[in-house]
């Protein structure tokens, strides 16, 4: 059975000026003139050309250059990548092409040049507009550099996103709220808000284990996320995903592709590719299969991913998932491969249960997450994934 065409393309740039204490991404801090960066970019260009020859790029609707810090590798290397892209696929204005950037390496000439080469959305890793909080995080920029980067981006880009973090040790509630207000005042049209998580084997993890840093307080993070919602919705943004706010028309189409189960191609070290058809979904990373789902598990995962978004899932999608999950469970039970009564409860029963817990609500033909559902994401998402373990 043929696989569905890829709709999204992710290019991983695994280099930074320094690694932040909380980061567990596949990145490395290397000198900007390192030969390793040139070799990597040349290899990535070959990967792009190969994907084009294999007719993998013909249906791409969104492109995302992430990292790491794509802006760190400089304009000469970015030009090579973007030129290869433009020669290998239809990098037209209707294709959303996002590039991540950090304030310390985003310059006015770079803004001008990447715009001319087809990038039409910039995502800037600010994290905070408070110098002390930035110092705690180990960021390479200060607050003024963050402001300057956003202003520079707006010389060419209307579609500018700002990333912020909450729950950081030493960050007061007012400091976080002021950063959210500043992102709005600077004119960002998209804001992502992420609670700090302590990832294993990071410097922050070692500091927590040694008692030198407190673990993030979930109640503090929940209060911060609620404060962000109030500020941003009051400023005309809408929360379209658990951590993402946008003015109308500025939602991230690339990230939405992930949450709506669109197949995506990942190129570069540790980039993940998701290939699927109606019967199977596979995720492959560095040549190794890391996920292999059947139709039942795909249906459950799509329900879970859908509940990350404010629009939730439609009654029609729930009905299709029930057909895939419940019918398969009934068949297994009747054939004797599953003992009677051991099959997972029906999809509708799961949603009714989640509604009784206040985690979802049903209106206008759709099931949507509540604010409580987003705050208790592990419970909400876990219950849906458990429909097809």
Looking up residue 57, the CATH number of its domain turns out to be: 3.80.30.20
**pLDDT for position 220:** 93
Query: In which domain, by residue range, is 349 found?
Result: 307-386
Question: Looking at 223, 239, 257, which one is the last position of a domain?
Answer: 257
Q: Between the ranges 26-30, 320-324, 358-362, where is the mean pLDDT highest?
A: 358-362
Percent of the chain with pLDDT strictly greater than 70: 95
Are 322 and 253 within one domain? no
Q: Is residue 68 reached through a cis peptide bond, with omega within 30 degrees of 0 on the bond before it? A: yes
pLDDT band with cut points at 50, 70 and 90 for residue 382: very high
Q: Is residue 266 part of a domain?
A: no
Are 246 and 316 within one domain? no
What does the pLDDT average to over 259-276?
97
What does the pLDDT average to over 74-82?
97
**pLDDT for position 231:** 98
Greatest C-alpha distance within the chain: 67
Are 60 and 118 within one domain? yes
Are 226 and 361 within one domain? no
Question: Looking at 223, 242, 257, which one is the last position of a domain?
Answer: 257
Short-list 45, 44, 47, 54, CA closest to 5: 54
Are 225 and 159 within one domain? yes
Q: Are 361 and 370 in contact (CB under 8 A)?
A: yes
pLDDT digits (tens, 9 = 90+) for 48-57: 999 999 999 9
**pLDDT for position 345:** 53
Question: Looking at 257, 284, 319, which one is the last position of a domain?
Answer: 257
Q: Are 280 and 30 in contact (CB under 8 A)?
A: no
Are 213 and 336 within one domain? no
Alpha carbon distance 135, 140 (integer Å): 8
What does the pLDDT average to over 347-369?
96
Short-list 291, 273, 286, 271, CA closest to 27: 271
The number of domains in the chain is 2
**pLDDT for position 329:** 56
pLDDT band with cut points at 50, 70 and 90 for residue 343: very low
**pLDDT for position 342:** 35
Asked whether the predicted pLDDT for residue 243 surpasses 70, the reply is yes
**pLDDT for position 19:** 83
Are 180 and 41 within one domain? yes
Asked whether the predicted pLDDT for residue 131 surpasses 60, the reply is yes
What does the pLDDT average to over 313-326?
92
Q: Is residue 41 part of a domain?
A: yes
DSSP tag of 73: G
What does the pLDDT average to over 189-208?
91
pLDDT band with cut points at 50, 70 and 90 for residue 338: very low
Q: What is the Cα gyration radius of the chain? A: 22
State the chain's mean pLDDT as an integer: 93
Are 314 and 245 within one domain? no
Asked whether the predicted pLDDT for residue 335 surpasses 90, the reply is no
Q: Is residue 281 part of a domain?
A: no
| Angle ∠(65,71,74) on CA atoms, nearest 5 | 115
99 DSSP β-pair partners: 65, 122
Are 251 and 132 within one domain? yes
Q: Is residue 234 part of a domain?
A: yes
Contacts of 206 by beta carbon, 8 Å cutoff, 6+ apart: none
**pLDDT for position 157:** 97
Q: Is residue 289 part of a domain?
A: no
Asked whether the predicted pLDDT for residue 201 surpasses 90, the reply is no
More confident site: 277 or 202? 277
**pLDDT for position 337:** 47
**pLDDT for position 282:** 97
Alpha carbon distance 270, 14 (integer Å): 9
What does the pLDDT average to over 378-389?
93
Are 32 and 180 within one domain? yes
pLDDT band with cut points at 50, 70 and 90 for residue 27: confident
Q: Is residue 143 part of a domain?
A: yes
Q: Around Cβ 117, how many Cβ atoms within 10 Å?
A: 18
Are 131 and 250 within one domain? yes
Q: Around Cβ 365, how many Cβ atoms within 10 Å?
A: 9
Q: Is residue 152 part of a domain?
A: yes
Asked whether the predicted pLDDT for residue 341 surpasses 70, the reply is no
pLDDT band with cut points at 50, 70 and 90 for residue 212: confident
Q: Is residue 215 part of a domain?
A: yes
Are 228 and 336 within one domain? no
What does the pLDDT average to over 86-99?
94
């Amino acid at each position: 059975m043929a696989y569905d065409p890829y709709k999204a393309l992710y290019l991983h740039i695994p280099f930074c000026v320094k690694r932040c204490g909380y980061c567990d991404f596949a990145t490395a801090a290397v000198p900007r003139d390192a030969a390793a960066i040139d070799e990597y970019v040349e290899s990535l260009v070959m990967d792009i050309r190969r994907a084009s020859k294999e007719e993998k790029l013909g249906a791409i609707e969104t492109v995302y250059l992430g990292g790491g810090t794509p802006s760190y590798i400089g304009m000469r290397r970015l030009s090579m990548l973007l030129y290869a892209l433009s020669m290998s696929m239809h990098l037209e204005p209707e294709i959303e092409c996002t590039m991540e950037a950090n304030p310390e390496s985003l310059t006015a000439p770079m803004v001008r040049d990447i715009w001319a080469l087809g990038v039409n959305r910039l995502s800037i890793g600010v994290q905070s507009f408070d110098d002390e909080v930035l110092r705690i995080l180990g960021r390479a920029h200060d607050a003024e550099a963050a402001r300057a980067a956003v202003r520079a981006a707006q010389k060419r880009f209307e579609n500018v996103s700002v990333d912020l973090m909450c729950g950081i040790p030493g960050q007061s509630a007012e400091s976080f709220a002021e950063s959210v207000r500043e992102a709005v005042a600077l004119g960002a049209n998209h804001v992502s808000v992420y609670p700090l998580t302590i990832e294993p084997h990071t410097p922050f993890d070692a500091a927590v284990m040694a008692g030198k840093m407190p673990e993030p307080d979930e109640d503090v993070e929940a209060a911060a996320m609620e404060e962000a919602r109030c500020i941003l919705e009051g400023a005309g943004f809408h929360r379209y995903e658990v951590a993402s706010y946008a003015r109308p028309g500025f939602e991230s189409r690339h990230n939405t592709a992930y949450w709506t189960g669109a197949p995506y191609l990942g190129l570069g070290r540790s980039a993940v590719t998701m290939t699927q058809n109606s019967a199977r979904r596979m995720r492959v990373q560095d040549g190794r299969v890391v996920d292999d789902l059947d139709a039942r598990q795909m249906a459950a995962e799509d329900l879970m991913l859908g509940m990350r978004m404010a629009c939730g899932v439609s009654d029609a999608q729930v009905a299709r998932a029930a057909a895939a999950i419940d019918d398969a469970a009934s068949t297994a039970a009747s054939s004797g491969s599953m003992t009677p009564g051991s099959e997972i409860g029906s999809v509708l029963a799961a949603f009714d249960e989640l509604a009784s817990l206040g985690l979802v609500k049903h209106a206008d033909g759709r099931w949507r997450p509540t604010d409580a559902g987003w705050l208790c994401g592990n419970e909400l998402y876990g219950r849906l994934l458990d429909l097809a373990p």
